[in-house]
């Protein structure tokens, strides 16, 4: 049901480098690039957008969960994120309290958002 989502970033270049790296194992890539506004997804459709912080004051954490094709991609997402300097929140593991087969990993992006990669398929 979700068509697309956009978040505002304090440092678009730092966020772009982060999302370029961590979305690659999930099959995501830059689809549109307008300099300070970048759309990610699977061509031709951008579904996740980043842009400069331009409205409001203060920080409000967002939670963004990206679909991973399998558990290996979740582990690769986490590895790349942590190697890129992201704060690890939860290492890759099953989350049976969500539902059987839910496998996810959580990190903080450069702006402090809670970013997850999740696979719903068994290993």
pLDDT tens column, 88-105 = 999 999 999 999 999 999
Kindly list the structural domains of the chain, giving each domain's residue range(s) and its CATH number in brackets, ordered by start: 5-52+61-119 (3.10.180.10)
pLDDT (tens digit per residue) in 55-100 = 888 888 899 999 999 999 999 999 999 999 999 999 999 999 999 9
End-to-end CA distance of the chain: 26
Report how far residue 58's alpha carbon sits from residue 77's, in angstroms, rounded to the nearest whole number: 28
Report how far residue 89's alpha carbon sits from residue 107's, in angstroms, rounded to the nearest whole number: 5
pTM, 2 dp: 0.91
């Amino acid at each position: 049901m979700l068509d697309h989502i956009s978040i505002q970033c304090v440092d678009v270049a730092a966020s772009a480098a982060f999302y370029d790296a961590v979305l690659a194992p999930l099959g995501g890539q830059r689809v549109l690039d307008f300099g300070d506004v970048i759309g990610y997804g699977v061509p031709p459709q951008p579904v996740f957008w980043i842009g400069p912080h331009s409205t409001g004051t203060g920080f409000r954490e967002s939670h963004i969960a990206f679909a991973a094709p399998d558990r290996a991609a979740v582990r690769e997402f986490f590895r790349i994120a942590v190697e890129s300097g992201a704060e690890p929140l939860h290492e890759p593991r099953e989350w049976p309290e969500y539902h059987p087969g839910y496998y996810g990993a959580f990190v903080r992006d450069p702006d402090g958002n809670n970013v997850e990669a999740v696979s719903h398929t068994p290993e």
